[in-house]
Every structure is written in structure tokens, then in C-alpha cells.
Structure 1
Amino acid sequence: MRLLVYSHDTFGLGNIRRMLAICEHLLREIEGLSILLISGSPILHGFRLPKGLDYIKLPCINRGETDNLVAKYLGTDIDETVKMRSDLILSAAVNYKPDLVLVDKKPYGIKNELAPTLDYLQAKLPQTRFVLLLRDILDTPAKTIAEWHKHGYYEAVKKFYDLLLIVGIPEIFHLPQEYEFPTEVIQKAHFCGYIRKPQGCKQPEQVRDELQLSSNQKLVLVTPGGGEDGYQLIHTYLTGLKLLTDTHNIKSLIICGSEMPIEHRQALYQMATTYPQVQMYEFTDDLMSYVGVADVVVSMAGYNTVCEILSASKPAVVIPRIKPSQEQFVRSQRMYEFGCFQTIHPHDLTPSVLMQQVQQQLVNTQVNNTVDLGGLDRIASLIKSIFTNKNLIYEREVLYSERFSQGILAGKIII
């Protein structure tokens, strides 16, 4: 059984980390599965890859804060780079002959680079099934609706995709309602829940020894995800440490992220030398080991980081990215309202405001752990049903008229 996975990859590490977690779970749950992952992520080689998974690395494309796509490393224009990526994807599909294609985020891929592959597989390998995976929030409703109409994404889902999987819950963001999905798309949609992150590879005692944490010390973990735009968050945190007295007895672990520009990282490392209770790491592929030991997490509001906070039931102060996409801002607001963590708008972020929130969270014992984190199991169940040739039967009338009006949306597998 062959699965081809397309991972969207224009900014940060979020998409590739999420898709790798899904691939690893599918390999554990589906016997005889082989996965070919296609991605332009520049850090893909830095992750531990399980047996049964291999990848093809595409030329990198970067979105940046301006939302304009450019080739990240090659001296080629964007159209030339996308054409090269599109040809590589099609060649992989022609030779690999997948039974199922799992596509992340954009139905036609970046700048429609998947369109030739979708057309080819539908015409030449009509037995191939297609699944689209969407995270909980894409962007503001106005921007997303306009983009989906402009690029024909609603029609693409109708034409190509058998299932649309949403790794979120309607109580936080009812994606089909917010983005005005037509009925034919709604009937393919499943809320799967958020993705639970497994415990880290290291035992808590091992991490505490590594960080030289005494029994009465509190640990604050600061992580801006991939780090490409994380300088301001870390700089504000380090500046705020001056406001704390010795009585707080806090140690800080700051993980800059592999995508942080080297000049930013060097400046922060230099700044941190004045704080003996601060340790700086560039990158880890085992963040959950440190989240598990932390008393408070200070982070941005990327999907994976939020899932790590929820999985470990940790108090957190979250500062969302607000450009070029409002995804993180919307997520942070909805989850704050749901009681998941505290949040600070970047325009309101100052050292004193941040330290005040951190101190409040250090004594917070009320963490909302009611968010559904069963996403991986539901994804595996739905995909397994395709591989085992079970019919996916939707209770369409119930789905649309009753459950949709109640804010509950779930396709039903009848085996």
C-alpha cells in the first residue's frame, strides 16, 4: 500500500512537523504501508525518520512576512522554481503509482504545482484516492474565502478529493461554517481533533539534570517555533528578566529555532551571557522532553506548539504572529476564550507585560485539558478504511441539517 504525502512548506517548520507526526502514526497503525513524502522543507533531513518513510526534497520556496513567494536558495525566479518542483512531483507520482495521495493545506499545492499530478493520476490511475488535510485555522474568514474562490479550491475539493480532514474541533473554530464551504465540500469534511504530541524521548529527571535544575527552581521554556521571526519575542523575554528579583528562583531555557537568521541568534546568545540562569539552544527535534519539565511555556501560536502545550497540560503565555497570515492571532484568541492559555497581542508586548503574565502563570494550577487531542487516531481510521476498501458512507442529511446546525461535523465510517 503506497501513500504519497505532499507537505506545504513556505514558512517555518510547522507543516513538516505535523505531516511527519501523521506519517509516523500511520506507519504504526497500517501494516504494509509505504510512504513517500514530498517537501521543500530545508530542515527535513534533521528529523528522525521511521522505517517505511522516505522523502523527495524539492527546491525551497520562502514566503516571508511580505507574503511574496521567492526561491529561498536558488538563483531562479519563482515561476521557474515552481515549474521545477511541479515536474519533480509529477515524476515521483508517475513512478511511485500511489494508492492514496495526502495533500496538506492547499488543494492544488503552492501556486498550483500539484495540478498536473492530480490530473495525471485521475486520468491514468483512477483508482488513486485523494485526501486533503487542513489545520484548524487557515486565516481570517474574509481572506480565506477570497483565496479559495480565486484559486478554485472549492471546485478542486469537489472534483478530486474523497475526504477533507480537519485537525481541529468546531468548538474552537468551525472551519466549514467560517469559510462558507458549499454542501458538496461539507459532506466530505471530518473534524478529527487536534494532534496529541507524545511524551519526549528523555525522562524528566534526565532533563532536569541536563539543565541543572534544583528541586525548588521553576523552569520557563521559551520557544518561537522555527524561529524565522522569533527575535522580538526572545529579546523581549531576556529584557524582562531584569525586572525579576532573585527571589523568583527561575531558570530559563530558550530554544531559538533552526530557521532564525544567524545574526539574530548571535545577538541573542550575546545578550543571554549576562543572565547565568538562562540556557540557549539552537534547535531540538525533541521539544516535548523540555515542554514536559517546564512550569510555564512562552511561545508563539503555531499549530504544533499549541498542540505541545495542550498535550502536556502546561500553563502558557502565547504571543501570536500577525503577518503575513492572521492564523496564529485567530487561534490564540479562540483558545484564550476556551481557557487554554493566556495571550498577548504583539502590539502590546513589552518586557513588563510579558514578565507579569509569566509570573501569574507560574502559580496557575487551572489548565484547560478538555480539548480533543484524538486527531491522529481518527486520521488513521479514515485512511485505513480507504486502504481496506471499505465504503465511506456519509449520513448526508444528518450531517448537513442536524449536526451542522449544532456545530458538530463528522463523517461516519460504516464498516
Structure 2
Amino acid sequence: MLHRPKSDRPWRVVLYSHDSQGLGHIRRNLAVAQSLATHLPRLTGRAVTGLLFTGFDSISDQLPAGFDHVSLPGLTKESGGYAPRRVDVSMSRLLRIRSQLLAASVGAFEPDLVIVDRHALGLRGELERALRTLREERPQASIVLGLREVLDEPAVAAQEWERLGDPEDLAALYDAIWLYGDPRVHDPLATGEVPARLKCLVAYTGYLANGRPARPARRPRVPYVLTMVGGGSDGAALCDVAVRAPVPSGYQHVVVTGPQMPAEERRAIVAHARPGTRVVDQVPDGLASISHASALVSMAGYNTVTEAMTTSVPHLLVPRSRPRLEQVIRAEGLAAIGAAETIRLEQLDPGKLGEWIARAVGREVRRDGLDLDGLRAVGSLAAALLVGKHDGAGVAA
């Protein structure tokens, strides 16, 4: 039975991601936004509108109806730390600008739900002022921390939590923590990547996989193998191996360098490409490209992995191990259950990659045992929070 709302005002939702390197954070929030736009009206009887806060400014065509975005001055990683991407000011001044933009915008929007991706207080605390003001002025608002299923090796993750202060304080600030994964593959509570004190807030959603929007794509006339490296800022080494790998007769190899790969690195990769290999900087739709591939080679970033897990395409994961072990842990967990294969980059060469491709094409991989319904779960969890706080009632499944 549909919940009967006490108000017809659309739910107001804020999604924050700091967005420095790669496309993972914003892609995850775009998927969540689409889920909320799809499920909240059905579950609560109220429309939804929202704002995405991001350091990228080219996402307008990917937003669901009723959503817009606020572009924060961009960041990049430099010498192990963060630096302004474009504007010529100090990092401390840029963070003040971003913090003030966040506080003013969140305060004016008066959201009912805030979902924070990965950084509980924002990058270097830039979101803390906005969250604490919201908690004080709108106690009925729900604040959620969304975490990918792997953070890092436990000791490093513990240091990051310690820098945030007392877990009791975080527990008072947040209403829920959503873990975007399947604990049967990797459980960050069991490993200690998430403090035990916060266990009472945790809900496992499953991977944010099934239900991601994909543009229709024609099946190619020539079968192909696909190599992808996400945004591409740290994918040159894998692409260089991939373009020099032999390709089975009758197949093409499409190597996607990503829009963030430096131009000089991309030129070198194009120069090394062997016959039958095509280098592009991006594809119209990653999920559609993966679905039609005969085999997939990629790094082990969250979004590429979750999209691939919805298909039966054989998948070789080549995780990065710097600046954190997140991708290595994810790749090994999926390999342990037979959902993918993995090899470290330093152990890979064109010959080995060509051998894997030759074995992989023509096969299918079953991934039925994975919980891939995280986007549906996010919609239900959000509806329960909103209705529970605002209308004081349950919500239909």
C-alpha cells in the first residue's frame, strides 16, 4: 500500500562528493541520485528534487529530472596531497571558499536528506560547518554517510577515522552509514575499516550495480575486447601494456584511456598500439560498452567493477596499489569467489595479457551469488528515513 504523505512538497536531497582524482565519487552519486528519483516518489507518494555538489562541471546531461548541481572549485592530487585544479590561490583559501559555498547552499536549500560520499566531514572538514548547522537548524533532516565496500587496509582506515575525532560525535551527527557492497565478499566492519562504535548506524546495501542507466547500443559487427582505466589519470601503465598485447584473430581491442589522462601519455600509448587495437579517450556509455565486450580488462575502481558484475563478461582486474590498497583488496575479494580474475600490474606484460584474452573470449562468467541490488536498497532506506522523521509512519516495500 502506498504511503499517504502529510505534505506534497517535494523531498529535497543533497549529495556531496569532493571529487579530486578519477570519476568514481561523482559517478556513484549520480547513480544514487537516479535511484532516489526513481524510487522515492513510488515509496513515499512525494516527488523529489536535489542538488549534487561536485568538483566537476560537465554532468548536467547525466542528472535525473528535478536535480541540478553546484560546481565547487576543482581539486587535484599533487605530490601526495591536494591542490587547486585551476584557480591560483593557496589550498587553505580554496578550502575556505568551498566550505562557505557548501554552508550557504545547503542552508538555503533546506534539505530533508543529505548523503555524503566517503569523507564524513568533507575533504579536510570542508563540509562540517554545513552539516552541524543543518543538524541544529533542521533536526528533522537525515544525514547519511555513503561508503564504498572497501576503504583501505585496516591500519590506514583507522588513522583516517581518528583524524575525524570522537566516534560518539560522528554517531550523533549521522543518522545512518550505508555500505555499498556485499559483506560476503568484503566486510569493512569485520576488518575494522569501520569503527565498531558506528556499527549501530550501518546498513549493507549491496553493490550499486543493477539499475544503473545505460544508453542503448548496437551490438558491434566485429567482436571486441575492452580495456578501461576509469578517468585515466593513473592508468597509463596498464594502457601501455594493453595496446601492445596480441589480439585473437577476428577480434578488435578497444583501449579507453579516460578523459583525465595527460595528453603526452595518451600520445605515447597511441604510438605503441599494434594492428587491431583502437585507442579512444572515452566511450558514450561505459556499461553498454562492457555489456557488448567479449572480455574486459580494467583497474579495480568501484564503478567499473560494479557495472561489470551485472554482466557475464570475463573480467581481469589489474588494481593499483597506490596511494591506497583499496583496489587490491576489492580485486582479491572478487577473485576469491570466482567473479573475476586478478593480477598485479608489475606481474603483467603484453604476452601474459594476450594469453588471458585468448582464454577469456568466448567464455561467460556467472555472478548470480553477488548482491547487486544496492540502488534499490538505497531507495528503500532513504524512504524509510524520510517518512520516519517527517510523517512518523512506515513505508511500503
Match of 1:224 among 218, 225, 229: 229
The equivalent residue for 1:59 is: 73
Q: CA deviation at 1:207?
A: 3.9
Match of 2:49 among 34, 37, 40: 34
Paired position in structure 1 for 2:44? none
Per the alignment, residue 359 of structure 1 pairs with 358
The C-alpha deviation readout for 1:167-187, integer Å capped at 9, x for no partner, is: 101111111121264554101
Indicate the residue corresponding to 1:202 in structure 2.
216
C-alpha distance in 2 between matches for 1:315 and 1:156: 44
Question: For residue 63 of structure 2, what is the aligned residue in structure 1?
Answer: 49
Tell me, yes or no, if the aligned pair for 1:8 and 1:39 is still in contact at 8 Å.
yes
Equivalent residues, number:
380
Match of 1:407 in 2: none
Structure 2 CA distance for aligned equivalents of residues 123 and 60 of structure 1: 29
**Contact 1:108–1:153 (Cα < 8 Å) also in 2:** no
**2:263 paired with 1:253:** no
2:258–2:282 contact (8 Å) kept in structure 1: yes
CA deviation string 1:233-289 (max 9, x = no partner): 111011122xx5xx63221112211111111122223333x52x2222212341111
- Residue in 2 aligned with 1:398? none
**C-alpha distance in structure 1 between counterparts of 2:180 and 2:355, whole Å:** 33
Percent identity between matched residues is 28
- C-alpha spacing 1:153/1:16, structure 2 compared with 1 (3 Å): farther
The 1:29/1:155 distance shift into structure 2, 3 A limit, reads: same
Aligned to 1:22: 32
Which residue number corresponds to residue 124 of structure 1?
Answer: 137
Is the alpha carbon distance of 1:11 and 1:155 closer, same or farther for their aligned partners in structure 2, counting shifts above 3 Å?
A: farther
Name the structure, 1 or 2, with higher relative contact order (CA <8 Å, separation 6+): 2
Measure the CA separation in 2 of the matches of 1:106 and 1:188: 16
CA–CA distance in structure 1, aligned partners of residues 330 and 195 of structure 2: 23
Is 1:103 matched up with 2:108? no
Given the superposition, is the C-alpha separation of residues 53 and 235 from structure 1 closer, same or farther in structure 2, using an over 3 Å criterion? same
TM-score, L = length of structure 1: 0.86
Matched, 1:238 2:253: no
Amino acid at match of 1:325: R
Alpha-carbon spacing, 1:116–1:366, altered in 2? closer, same or farther (3 Å): closer
Partner AA of 1:154 in structure 2: P
Question: 1:123 deviation in Å?
Answer: 1.7
Q: Does 1:170 align with 2:175?
A: no
1:156/1:303 CA distance change after superposition, 3 Å:
farther
Where does residue 408 of structure 1 map in the other structure?
none
Contact (CA 8 Å) 1:25, 1:376: kept in 2 or not? Answer: yes
| Mapped partners of 2:166, 2:299: distance in 1 | 29
Could you tell me how far 1:19 is from its partner in structure 2? 0.6
Gap change, CA 1:136 and 1:153, over 3 Å in 2: farther
Distance 2:252 2:170 in 1: 49
CA distance in 1, matches of 2:242, 2:195: 45
Counterpart residue identity of residue 93, structure 2: E
Q: CA deviation at 1:34?
A: 0.7
Partner secondary structure for residue 257 of structure 1 = coil
Shift, 1:108, TM fit? 0.4
Gaps of 5+ in 2: 1-10, 42-46
Q: Let me know the Cα RMSD of the aligned residues.
A: 2.3
Partner of 1:4: 14
Q: Which runs of 5+ in 1 are unaligned?
A: 394-411
Q: Secondary structure at the match of 1:10?
A: coil
Structure 1 CA distance, aligned partners of 2:181 and 2:226? 25
Does the residue aligned with 1:2 lie in a helix, a strand or coil? Answer: strand
Please show how residues 12-411 of structure 1 align to structure 2 within 5 Å: 12-31=22-41, 32-41=47-56, 43-45=58-60, 47-63=61-77, 66-152=79-165, 154-179=167-192, 181-197=194-210, 198=212, 200-203=214-217, 206-208=218-220, 212-213=221-222, 218-241=223-246, 244=247, 248-272=249-273, 274-275=274-275, 277-389=276-388
Which secondary structure state, in structure 2, belongs to the residue aligned with residue 312 of structure 1? coil
TM-score (norm 2): 0.90
Distance in 1 separating the partners of 2:284 and 2:116: 23
CA drift at 1:7: 1.3
Structure 2 SS opposite 1:201: coil
Give the letter aligned to residue 297 of structure 1: L
Distance 1:149 1:414, change over 3 A: farther
What is the CA–CA distance in structure 1 between the aligned matches of 2:335 and 2:166, rounded to whole Å?
A: 30
Query: Partner of 2:8 in structure 1?
Result: none
